[in-house]
């Protein structure tokens, strides 16, 4: 390689390296501050901002979903299997909202209840035909009675 | 047909690269085949002719794959256990998202070659990658948004995956803008190549955003190495669509690079020769 091109290559790679290091450090620093959501355990430990809206993430607990008749209000419990937080929400729930589904809610804590202004359902990145889901649910039922509710497909 | 122009350009390149001029059809046995081919292809008239021959085949293959993939995805594949038919948007969304990253990497590599070796063809390819990549990124953002409203419950959220993909879109727009801001197209291409190259740090962020941070966007479903959490009946149309978008990209970039080279080298002997040959 001739000296001019070699110098250009070195300079270019140095610039790229510097930018990569700067970005890496920023990403590393953001890791701590970029909290998209708090888990019920973190809320219980008092890590969530008090009086300000924040995002609460977790799984919709089995048997906790109650719809108030005649309204759009739904009460449910968000759990991370360590702590539970009761949530109330008025509005239209997303299609993916169901028991056992990861859910992200935005709102504030009011007297021990999380009053949500927004409910987002997370997708579990699993794709399968309904028949397969039913077969899995059936197999789970046979092996472990009482835990069939975990498979979302069985809810319908 | 291009015999004259070709000979002239090979001579010119040999002068530029500080080599002893060689015969146009040189068979230097000391060279291995692949570098020899790339060196030959780097010459604009050779590339122009080669791309013109290959492009229709790539485009036809892309079209066939797209038809098979869409039929497989929209008709043959079963509905999803949770989402019903709404999940079928992944047959557009996921291949587009893969392309948005793949094209950026291609643009950055071409940009590096343009910066260091000052190869005209690399400049043209890097710059012509940007609009195709921007289009795929926009499709990714729009289809994701359309799916997000009914499934997640929101059109948009400032999560790490969505934000980094939006940054990718702005990087593409930045490259296009910077390139066009220069009077001298070759200087513009080199400046924009540097931006493209520097922006490559965003690619691992987009890819690993769902791993590094808690995001609303789900993690990867399809893994090259390891378990994919998607039924085979849904996976194969997705992979065929991915093949179709790759083929489309190669066909598209060859076509765009041809026109780019023609306008950049409009005063050159081989272009004049081409015009007289076609108008005759």
Give B32-74 pLDDT, tens digit per residue. 677 888 888 888 999 999 999 999 999 999 999 999 999 999 9
**What tokens does B127 get?**
């710059």
Q: Alpha carbon of B40 to those of A12, B23, B37: distances in Å?
A: 26, 12, 5
Phi, psi (rounded to 5 degrees) for A30: -70, -25
CA distance B240 to B68: 7
Question: Which residues of chain B neighbour A98 with C-beta distances below 8 Å?
Answer: 82
Query: What pLDDT sits at residue B113?
Result: 93
CA distance A133 to A139: 10
**What tokens does A45 get?**
């430990």
Reported as a single tens digit per residue, the pLDDT across A86-137 is: 999 998 888 888 888 888 898 998 888 899 998 888 888 788 888 888 888 8
Query: How is chain B split into domains, by residue range?
Result: 3-279
Helices (H), B17-119: 33-41, 44-71, 90-117
**Dihedral angle computed from the Cα positions of residues A7, A8, A13 and A19, in that order, rounded to the nearest 10 degrees:** 120
Q: Do B200 and A16 touch (CB under 8 A)?
A: yes
**Left if phi > 0, otherwise alpha if psi is -120 to 50, otherwise beta: which for A84?**
beta
Q: Do B90 and A127 touch (CB under 8 A)?
A: yes
Q: Which residues of A56-92 are buried (b: 16+ CB within 10 A; e: fewer)?
A: bbbbbbeeebeeeeeeeebebbbbbeeeebebbbeee
What is the sign, positive or negative, of the torsion defined by CA atoms of A103, A104, A106, A110?
Answer: positive
- ipTM for the predicted complex comes to 0.74
Give the DSSP H/E element, type plus range, for residue B144: helix B120-151
Residues A129 and A138 sit within 8 Å (Cβ to Cβ): no
CA distance B112 to A97: 47
Which of the residues B88, B108, B116 would you substitute to probe the A interface, choosing the one with the greatest number of A C-beta atoms within 10 Å?
Answer: B116
CA distance B167 to B198: 13
B9: pLDDT strictly greater than 60: no
The gap between the terminal CA atoms of chain A, to the nearest Å, is: 67
Q: Do A128 and B86 touch (CB under 8 A)?
A: no
Which of the residues B108, B145, B147, B153 would you substitute to probe the A interface, choosing the one with the greatest number of A C-beta atoms within 10 Å?
Answer: B153
Q: Which of B177, B173, B181, B188 is nearest to B264 (CA)?
A: B188
Q: What is the mean pLDDT of residues B77-84?
A: 88
DSSP characters over chain A = --HHHHHHHHHHHHHHHHHHHHHHHHHHHHHHH----B-HHHHHTT-SPSSS-EEEEEEEPTT--EEPTTSSEEEEEEE-SS-EEEEEEESPPPTT--TT-EEEEEEEEETTEEEEEEEEEPP-S-B--HHHHHHHHHHHHHHSTT-GGGSGGGG-
Residues A121 and B151 sit within 8 Å (Cβ to Cβ): yes
pLDDT interval class at B5 (50, 70, 90): very low
What is the sign, positive or negative, of the torsion defined by CA atoms of B144, B101, B199, B134?
Answer: negative
Give the DSSP H/E element, type plus range, for residue A105: strand A102-110
Query: What pLDDT sits at residue B10?
Result: 47
Question: Looking at per-residue confidence, does B195 or A36 come out higher?
Answer: B195
- Given the structure tokens 């070759």, which residue do they identify? B186
Q: Given B213, B219, B233, which is nearest A36 (Cβ)? A: B213
Residues B83 and B151 sit within 8 Å (Cβ to Cβ): yes
The percent of residues in chain B predicted with pLDDT above 70, rounded, is 88
A146: pLDDT strictly greater than 90: no
Query: What pLDDT sits at residue B83?
Result: 86
Residue B25: burial class (beta carbons within 10 Å; 0-12, 13-18, 19+): exposed
B101: pLDDT strictly greater than 90: yes
Query: What pLDDT sits at residue B14?
Result: 43
Q: Which range in A135-139, B80-84, B179-183 is most confidently predicted, on average pLDDT? A: B179-183
pLDDT interval class at A4 (50, 70, 90): confident
**What tokens does B189 get?**
């291409």
Per DSSP bridges, beta strands A73-79 and A54-60 are antiparallel
Q: What is the mean pLDDT of residues B194-201?
A: 94
B12: pLDDT strictly greater than 90: no
Phi, psi (rounded to 5 degrees) for B97: -65, -40
Q: Given B81, B194, B214, which is nearest A130 (Cβ)? A: B81
**pTM for the full predicted model:** 0.82
Residues A135 and A152 sit within 8 Å (Cβ to Cβ): no
Q: What is the mean pLDDT of residues B111-116?
A: 93
Q: How far is the alpha carbon of A110 from chain B, nearest alpha carbon, in Å?
A: 23
**What tokens does B106 get?**
């291609």
Residue B118 DSSP class: -
Q: Which of B196, B234, B275 is nearest to B91 (CA)?
A: B234
Q: How far is the alpha carbon of A17 from chain B, nearest alpha carbon, in Å?
A: 9
Query: What pLDDT sits at residue B207?
Result: 92
CA distance B57 to B250: 11
Nearest CA in chain B to A26: B205
A153: pLDDT strictly greater than 60: no
Question: Looking at per-residue confidence, does B269 or B214 come out higher?
Answer: B269
Q: How far is the alpha carbon of A5 from chain B, nearest alpha carbon, in Å?
A: 6
């Amino acid at each position: 390689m001739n000296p001019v091109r070699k110098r250009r290559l070195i300079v270019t790679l140095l610039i790229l390296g510097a930018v990569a290091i700067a970005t890496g450090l920023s990403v590393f620093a953001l890791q701590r501050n970029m909290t998209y959501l708090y888990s019920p355990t973190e809320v219980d430990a008092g890590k969530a901002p008090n009086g300000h809206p924040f995002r609460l993430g977790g799984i919709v607990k089995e048997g906790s979903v109650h719809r108030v008749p005649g309204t759009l209000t739904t009460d449910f419990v968000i759990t991370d299997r360590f702590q539970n937080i009761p949530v109330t929400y008025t509005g239209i729930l997303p299609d993916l909202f169901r028991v056992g589904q990861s859910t992200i809610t935005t709102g504030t804590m009011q007297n021990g209840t999380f009053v949500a202004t927004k409910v987002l359902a997370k997708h579990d990145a699993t794709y399968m035909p309904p028949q397969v889901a039913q077969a899995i649910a059936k197999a789970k039922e046979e092996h472990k009675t009482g835990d069939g509710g975990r498979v979302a497909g069985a809810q319908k | 047909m291009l015999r004259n122009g070709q000979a002239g350009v090979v001579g010119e390149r040999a002068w530029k690269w500080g080599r002893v001029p060689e015969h146009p059809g040189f068979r230097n046995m000391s060279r291995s085949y692949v570098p020899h081919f790339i060196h030959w292809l780097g010459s604009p008239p050779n590339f122009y002719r080669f791309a013109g021959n290959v492009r229709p085949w790539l485009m036809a293959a892309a079209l066939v794959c797209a038809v098979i993939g869409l039929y497989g995805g929209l008709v043959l594949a079963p509905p999803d256990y949770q989402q019903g038919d709404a999940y079928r948007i992944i047959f557009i969304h996921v291949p587009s998202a893969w392309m948005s990253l793949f094209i950026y990497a291609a643009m950055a590599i071409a940009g590096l070659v343009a910066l260091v070796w000052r190869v005209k063809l690399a400049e043209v390819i890097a710059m012509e990658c940007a609009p195709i990549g921007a289009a795929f990124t926009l499709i990714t953002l729009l289809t994701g948004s359309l799916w997000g409203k009914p499934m997640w419950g929101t059109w948009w959220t400032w999560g790490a995956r969505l934000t980094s993909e939006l940054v990718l879109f702005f990087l593409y727009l930045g490259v296009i803008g910077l390139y066009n801001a220069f009077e001298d197209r070759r200087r513009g291409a080199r400046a924009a190549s540097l931006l493209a190259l520097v922006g490559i740090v965003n690619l691992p962020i987009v890819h690993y955003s769902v791993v590094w941070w808690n995001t609303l966007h789900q993690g990867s479903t399809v893994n090259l190495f390891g378990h994919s959490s998607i039924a085979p009946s849904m996976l194969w149309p997705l992979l065929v669509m991915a093949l179709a978008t790759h083929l489309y990209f190669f066909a598209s970039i060859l076509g765009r690079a041809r026109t780019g080279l023609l306008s950049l080298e409009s005063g050159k002997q081989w272009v004049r020769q081409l015009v007289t040959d076609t108008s005759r």
